[in-house]
Amino acid sequence: MAFPMFATVAWLVWVLGQQSGIDGAGSLLLLLVALSAVLWALGLAGRTRLIVATLSIATLAGVVSATGQNIIKIAPAPGTVAATERWQPWEPGRVEQILAMDQPVMVDFTAAWCVTCQYNKKTTLSHPAVLADLDAKNVQLLRADWTRRDPAITTALGQLGRNGVPVYVLYKTGRTPQVLSEVLNVDDLRAAIAAL
């Protein structure tokens, strides 16, 4: 049971790193080490326990006061989100610009902490047949990263009647946006792309 819990902690530290940056993740790891020292000290016996536990608790308090703010602050979003080869960063008005050029658009509203989003990226959105269909229809791909709760993305989600991720939307000029299932599968996505 311990190893699944360790894996969960590792994943949560990665998510925290996505939200509050390397300082937040490093601060959390330092806090966990200090907390481990306190728990270890409480397991000692006799007078040693009192002395070491007191020092460990004082150290933990110092670590919390010195680095605690790094854990809870949201790191500023980078000026430019690194785009992948296929996916470009979403920004307000970008969908309308692409539609004005009479090209279809797919938007992936996602977040680093969203397990379903990560699953869909690995299984469906990167599937060779899906990518070939997107290329054949010249679908422009935008990724709206909601990891840091960007207010513009929150507004866009609200306009679609959604308040969380994942959300996948296909846009085509003259048609109502098509909101796809939260858990994507290759066949359904290919059928939706073919209908563009």
Report the chain (196 residues): mean pLDDT per 10 consecutive residues: 85 82 81 88 88 87 80 60 74 97 97 92 94 97 93 97 97 96 96 96
Give 87's DSSP letter. E
> What are the domain boundaries of the chain?
2-72, 87-194
- Asked if residues 169 and 180 have their Cβ atoms less than 8 Å apart, the reply is yes
State the pTM of this model.
Answer: 0.69
Question: What are the tokens at 137?
Answer: 């229809």
Q: Using one digit for the tens of pLDDT, what is the confidence trace for 51-60?
A: 888 888 988 8
From 28, 22, 27, select the one nearest 9 (Cα to Cα): 28
Whose tokens are 């993740």? That residue is 25
Q: What does 131-143 look like in DSSP terms, one character per residue? A: HHHHHHTT-EEEE
Per CATH, which fold does 87-194 belong to? Glutaredoxin (3.40.30)
Judge whether 15 and 112 are in contact, CB under 8 Å: yes
